[in-house]
Amino acid sequence: MEDCIFCKIIKGDLPSYKIYEDKDTFAFLDISNDANGHILVIPKIHYTNVLDCDAEVLASVVKTIKKISNHLVENCGFSGVNILNASGKDAEQSVFHLHFHILPRKEGDGMKTFPKLKQNEFTLDEMCEKLRIKE
């Protein structure tokens, strides 16, 4: 996609701090520089988000996420990772090229990455009935 910032990074039209690349995926530091080692993992083929991504491409992205996450813990001094994704405008997706955030974590780093949510208005029975996949 011509106006996609991540597609421009993949093509080399924009610079990036590349962490890892294979035939299907590209991983680079997030320029927000808001957390030590904040990495974005993207497919090289443009997909908007998880909802329209080919299952095989998505599997490649997850494989890269696992590889990088293991590297961060085994070789870089981190003790865990948060893996985050937003798929869709109402889910707060801001760049409409599928991407996952990897946030390396250490004890006492002070980051709070999970939102504090209010109590659901529906019972678990009601929600389960509504969301159950019936094949």
41-66 pLDDT, tens digit each: 999 999 999 999 999 999 999 999 99
User: End-to-end alpha-carbon separation of the chain, Å?
Assistant: 35
Rounded Cα distance between 88 and 92, Å, is 7
pTM: 0.93
Segment 13-28, tens digit of pLDDT: 999 999 999 999 999 9
What pLDDT is attached to residue 55? 97
User: Rounded to 10 degrees, what is the CA torsion of 17, 21, 23, 24?
Assistant: -80
Identified catalytic residue from 38, 71, 97, 99: 99
What pLDDT is attached to residue 113? 87
Report whether pLDDT(67) > 90.
Answer: yes
Q: Environment class of residue 91 by beta-carbon count within 10 Å: exposed (0-12), middle (13-18) or buried (19+)?
A: exposed
What pLDDT is attached to residue 83? 98
Give catalytic status of residue 101 as yes or no. no
